[in-house]
């Protein structure tokens, strides 16, 4: 049977599987192929709501955008959302499907595998090619029995496997060889290529090592992808939170920021979810974003973002233990800007009643917004649309907590009653904002207008650059840059030759009008080291 797809595996988490998959989706779509991304099981608290109302990993949603197709729950049929070190909430085909304890994982995978395999078969029927992303590393032999996301998936559907290694981590040759060495003979038979990611320098220095690894394993290298400084895409891995913070630190940031810049502190909660909400803020020229757990930075920043959480009540207790809750209350009293999103918004209310997530009963909130929160077993999933001061705002909702207005008055710092103002299905009191909606800052007009208000309140002279590209345009440019790099440094023809579309892809590649996704005519494929 000719392979209906390929599997992009990695030597470790955050080795580049997600971005390589996104780049392949765009590069192959340019060739006129109808391509679908797929990840059988994703363990991530960064998720997105599809147009059909189902929830999938954020990375797969962006990969679908890269392929130019509508995201669907078949592209990430199993999503595990960690609620603690030993407990995950299960999402199957976009809908909540119970809880999985650590000790139940091995026994509980059979039904999840069935859902994953059925979803892959569905995509394979509909699309020319399915580009699959693995999870973690196939060398995790302790998880091989019952595996359905790495080599278990590849064996089931006869998929050729490409292993990606991040050279920036160091030890790349050992990681690639060790991955191959730990596999069984049957699994090794599917390992068809290695790929180096994030290379900087002269590739000729690296090539002798690649030749020796191929001699020892029989596995060729299809390319060496260079370091792409300005390319970062929605991550599924909490280890990568804040990876956009690669630029130089503002000179006066440690003292609260230069007067013409805007400093933003994002609190890194233990169970942070949808940290991608901050991505669009971080792209604004003159805005310095730092992920932190330091109360001193929380006090000093112009704006603090309290993001979502997969265990809201537990993370609220953690805020109190770290002294961060006191820092947030001080900010509100001093009228310094603070915004809470989803779980962060819930923490800013008067109380939480949780018998669902952390199952802790009623706990007091920070008392900064006029809401009480009750957690429901049924998860709210939606893609709401609203407005703020004439700016259209689109977002998405993923939450169990239901926030309702309380009857107690909201008080200003001097003790006077202060009426709350509606804010995107949430509330604003003074310089404290809260909303259940994720993704609001991806709306360019709203983001820039709201940040201007924040800057004025914080006493910063920062103002948005009117000629800066929008967030959507920047993301599209990043995807194209990534696809260009794969076209130039990876032998895509050899990769396609391993699949059922290999014989027709070369003909399609000569037609530069085959897809509106192709930004440049006559892109050439330069084979990597083989």
Q: Give pLDDT tens digits for 307-327.
A: 999 889 999 999 999 999 999
Under 8 Å between Cβ of 242 and 289 = yes
Q: Which of 91, 9, 103 is nearest to 42 (CA)?
A: 91
Say yes or no to pLDDT of 472 above 60. Answer: yes
What average pLDDT is seen over the chain?
86
Say yes or no to pLDDT of 93 above 70. Answer: yes
Say yes or no to pLDDT of 34 above 90. Answer: yes
Residue 154: how many CB atoms within 10 A of its CB? 26
Tokens representing 420? Answer: 């709350």
Quote the pLDDT of residue 235: 57
Mean pLDDT of 385-407: 91
The residues annotated with a catalytic role in the active site are 342, 438
Quote the pLDDT of residue 105: 59
Span of 60-64, 92-96, 180-184, 336-340 with lowest mean pLDDT: 92-96
Quote the pLDDT of residue 413: 52
Length of the chain: 530
Residue 153's pLDDT band (cuts 50, 70, 90): very high
387 bridge partner residues: 392
Residue 85's pLDDT band (cuts 50, 70, 90): low
Residue 34: how many CB atoms within 10 A of its CB? 15
Which structural domains are found in the chain, ordered by start? 5-233+473-509 (3.40.50.300), 261-461 (3.40.50.880)
Residue 139, classified by CB atoms within 10 Å of its CB into exposed (0-12), middle (13-18) or buried (19+), is buried
Buried b (16+ CB within 10 A) or exposed e, 89-109: bbbbbbebbeebeeeeeeeeb
Under 8 Å between Cβ of 23 and 488 = no
| Cβ-based neighbours of 281, under 8 Å, separated by 6 or more | 264, 287, 289, 305, 441, 447, 451
For 232-274, give the secondary structure using H, E and C.
CCCCCCHHHCCCCCCCCCCCCHHHCCCCCCEEEEEECCCCEEC
Under 8 Å between Cβ of 292 and 266 = yes
Buried b (16+ CB within 10 A) or exposed e, 432-468: bbbbbbbbbbbbbebbbbbbeebbeebebebebeeee
pTM of the model: 0.84
Mean pLDDT of 409-431: 78
pLDDT tens-digit readout, 349-387: 999 898 877 778 899 999 999 999 898 888 889 999 999
Q: Which of 218, 155, 160 is nearest to 500 (CA)?
A: 160
Q: Which of 139, 228, 293 is nearest to 482 (CA)?
A: 228
Q: Between these two residues, 3 and 23, which has the higher pLDDT value?
A: 23
């Amino acid at each position: 049977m000719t392979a209906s797809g390929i599997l992009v595996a990695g030597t470790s988490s955050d080795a580049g599987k997600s971005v390589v998959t996104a780049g392949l989706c765009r590069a192959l779509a340019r060739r006129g192929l109808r391509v679908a991304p797929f990840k059988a099981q994703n363990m991530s608290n960064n998720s997105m709501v599809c147009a059909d109302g189902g929830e999938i990993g954020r990375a797969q949603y962006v990969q679908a955008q890269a392929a130019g197709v509508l995201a669907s729950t078949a592209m990430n049929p199993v999503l595990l959302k960690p609620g603690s070190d030993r407990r995950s909430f299960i999402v199957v085909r976009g809908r909540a499907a119970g809880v999985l304890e650590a000790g139940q994982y091995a026994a509980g995978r059979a039904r999840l595998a069935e859902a994953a395999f059925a979803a892959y078969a569905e995509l394979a029927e509909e699309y020319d090619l399915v580009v699959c992303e693995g999870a973690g590393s196939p060398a995790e032999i302790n998880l091989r029995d019952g595996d359905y996301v790495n080599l278990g998936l590849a064996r089931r559907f006869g998929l050729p496997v490409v292993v990606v290694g991040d050279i920036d981590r160091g030890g790349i040759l050992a990681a690639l060889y060790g991955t191959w060495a730990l596999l069984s003979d049957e699994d090794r038979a599917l390992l068809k290529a290695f790929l180096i990611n994030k290379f900087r320098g002269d590739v000729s220095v690296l090539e002798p090592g690649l030749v020796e690894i191929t001699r020892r394993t029989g596995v060729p290298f299809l390319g060496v992808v260079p370091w792409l400084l300005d390319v970062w895409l929605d991550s599924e891995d909490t280890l990568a939170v804040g990876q956009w913070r690669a630029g130089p630190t503002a000179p006066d940031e440690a003292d609260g920021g230069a007067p013409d810049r805007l400093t933003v502190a994002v609190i890194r909660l233990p169970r942070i979810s949808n940290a991608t909400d901050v991505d669009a803020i971080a792209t604004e020229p003159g805005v310095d974003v730092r992920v932190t757990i330091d109360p001193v930075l929380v006090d000093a920043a112009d704006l603090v973002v309290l993001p979502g959480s997969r265990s809201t009540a537990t993370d609220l207790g953690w805020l109190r233990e770290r002294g961060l809750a006191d820092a947030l209350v001080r900010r509100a009293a001093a009228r310094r800007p603070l915004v809470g999103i989803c779980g962060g918004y819930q923490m800013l209310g008067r109380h939480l009643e949780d018998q669902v997530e952390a199952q802790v009963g009623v706990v007091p909130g920070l008392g900064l917004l006029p809401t009480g929160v009750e957690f429901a077993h049924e998860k709210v999933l939606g893609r709401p649309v609203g407005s703020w001061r004439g700016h259209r705002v689109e977002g998405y909702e993923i939450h169990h907590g239901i926030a309702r207005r309380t009857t107690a008055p909201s008080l200003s710092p001097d003790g006077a009653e202060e009426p709350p103002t509606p804010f995107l299905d949430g509330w604003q009191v003074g310089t404290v904002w809260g909303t259940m909606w994720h993704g609001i800052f991806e709306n360019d007009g709203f983001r820039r207008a709201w940040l201007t208000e924040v800057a004025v309140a914080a006493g910063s002279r920062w103002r948005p650059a009117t000629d800066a590209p929008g967030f959507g345009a920047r993301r599209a440019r990043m995807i194209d840059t990534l696809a260009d790099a794969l076209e130039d440094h990876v032998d895509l023809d050899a990769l396609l030759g391993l699949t059922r579309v290999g014989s027709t892809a070369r003909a399609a590649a000569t037609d530069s009008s085959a897809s509106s996704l192709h930004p440049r005519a006559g892109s050439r494929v330069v084979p990597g080291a083989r």
